Structure 1
Amino acid sequence: MLALLGFLTIAVFLILIMTKRVSVITALVLVPLVFGFVAGFGVKELGEMMLAGIKQVAPTGILLMFAVLYFATMLDVGLFDPVIAAIVRSVKGDPLKVILGTAILTMIVHLDGDGTATFMIVLSAFLPIYKKLNINRLVLSGVVALSVGPMHLVPWSGTSARAISTLKTDVPHLFNPNIPAIIGGICWVLFAAYWFGKKERKRLGILDFDYNHSESLTEAQKSLRRPALLWLNALMTIALIVTLMKGWVPAPALFVVASMLALVINYPKLPDQQKILRGHGNNIFMVSSMIFAAGIFSGILTGSKMIEAMATALVSLIPQQHAGWLPTLTALTSMPASMLFTPDAYYFGVVPILSQTATQFGIDPLEIGRAALLGQMTVGFPVSPLTASTFLLVGLSEVDLGDHQRFIFKWAWGTTIVMAMVALLTGSIHI
Structure 2
Amino acid sequence: MAWIGFGMVITFMTLIMTRRLSAVVALILVPVAFGLLAGLGSDMGGMVMDGMRQVAPIAIMLVFAILLFSIMYDAGLFEPLVKSITRFAGHDPLRIALATAFLGAVTSFDGDGTSTVLIVVTAFLPVYLRIGMNPLIIALLILLTNTMINIIPWGGPTARVASALNLDVMEVFWGLIPAALIGLVYATGMAWWLGLRERKRLGWEPGKNMLMSEAGGKLPEIDRSHQRPKLVWVNLILMLGMAAAMGTGLAPLPVVMVVTFALALLINYPRLSQQKERIAAHAENAVTVATLIFSAGVFTGILTGSGMVDAMSESFVGIIPDAAGEYMALITAFASLPFTFFVSNDAYFFGIVPILAAAGAEYGVDPIHIARASMLGQPVHALSPLIAAIYVIGGLLNKEVGELQRFSLLPAIVASLIFIAGAFITGAIY
Category of TM-score, reference length = shorter chain: 0.5 to 0.7
Match of 2:131 in 1: none
Cα distance in structure 2, aligned partners of 1:286 and 1:375: 26
Cα distance in structure 2, aligned partners of 1:54 and 1:45: 15
Match of 2:24 in 1: 25
**TM-score, normalization by structure 1:** 0.64
Cα distance in structure 2, aligned partners of 1:183 and 1:256: 28
For 2:271, give the aligned amino acid. K
**TM-score, normalization by structure 2:** 0.64
For 1:308, give the aligned amino acid. D
Cα distance in structure 1, aligned partners of 2:98 and 2:4: 42
Match of 1:252 in 2: 254
Out of 128, 137, 150, the position equivalent to 2:119 is 128
Q: How many matched pairs? A: 370
Cα distance in structure 2, aligned partners of 1:55 and 1:8: 25
Offset at residue 257 of structure 1 (A): 1.4
For 1:28, give the aligned amino acid. L
Structure 1 residues 399-410: aligned runs within 5 Å: none
Cα distance in structure 2, aligned partners of 1:103 and 1:30: 42
Are residues 1:9 and 2:11 paired? no
Offset at residue 285 of structure 1 (A): 1.3
Match of 2:147 in 1: 146
For 2:229, give the aligned amino acid. P
Cα distance in structure 2, aligned partners of 1:322 and 1:71: 43
Structure 1 residues 94-109: aligned runs within 5 Å: none
Structure 1 residues 212-291: aligned runs within 5 Å: 221-291=223-293
Match of 1:45 in 2: 43
Structure 2 CA distance for partners of 1:291 and 1:232, relative to 1, 3 Å: same
Structure 1 residues 17-416: aligned runs within 5 Å: 17-42=16-41, 44-91=42-89, 118-120=109-111, 124=115, 126-131=117-122, 133=125, 142-144=143-145, 146-148=147-149, 221-320=223-322, 329=331, 331-333=333-335, 336=339, 339=348, 345=354, 349-355=358-364, 372=370, 375-379=373-377
Match of 1:358 in 2: none
Structure 2 CA distance for partners of 1:325 and 1:223, relative to 1, 3 Å: closer
Structure 2: give runs of 5+ residues left out of the alignment.
Answer: 127-134, 168-174, 202-209, 214-218, 395-400
Cα distance in structure 2, aligned partners of 1:193 and 1:34: 50
Question: Contact 1:351 / 1:369 at 8 angstroms: preserved in 2?
Answer: no
Structure 2 CA distance for partners of 1:190 and 1:151, relative to 1, 3 Å: farther
Cα distance in structure 1, aligned partners of 2:212 and 2:99: 18
Question: Contact 1:103 / 1:147 at 8 angstroms: preserved in 2?
Answer: no
SS of residue paired to 2:19? coil
CA-based RMSD of the aligned residues comes to: 5.4
Structure 2 CA distance for partners of 1:126 and 1:14, relative to 1, 3 Å: same
For 1:11, give the aligned amino acid. I
**Identical counterparts, % of pairs:** 29
For 2:25, give the aligned amino acid. T
Structure 2 CA distance for partners of 1:375 and 1:278, relative to 1, 3 Å: same
Question: Contact 2:149 / 2:180 at 8 angstroms: preserved in 1?
Answer: no
Cα distance in structure 2, aligned partners of 1:4 and 1:410: 37
Offset at residue 147 of structure 1 (A): 2.1
Question: Contact 2:72 / 2:235 at 8 angstroms: preserved in 1?
Answer: yes
Residue deviations 1:258-283, cap 9 Å, x none?
11111111222211111112222222
Structure 1: give runs of 5+ residues left out of the alignment.
Answer: 111-116, 167-174, 210-214, 356-364, 385-390
Residue deviations 1:7-46, cap 9 Å, x none?
333333233223322222112222222222222221x222
Offset at residue 63 of structure 1 (A): 0.9
Structure 2 CA distance for partners of 1:126 and 1:309, relative to 1, 3 Å: same
Offset at residue 239 of structure 1 (A): 0.6
Cα distance in structure 1, aligned partners of 2:315 and 2:61: 35
Structure 2 CA distance for partners of 1:230 and 1:149, relative to 1, 3 Å: closer
Residue deviations 1:44-89, cap 9 Å, x none?
2222222111111111111111111111111111111112223334
Question: Contact 2:31 / 2:299 at 8 angstroms: preserved in 1?
Answer: yes
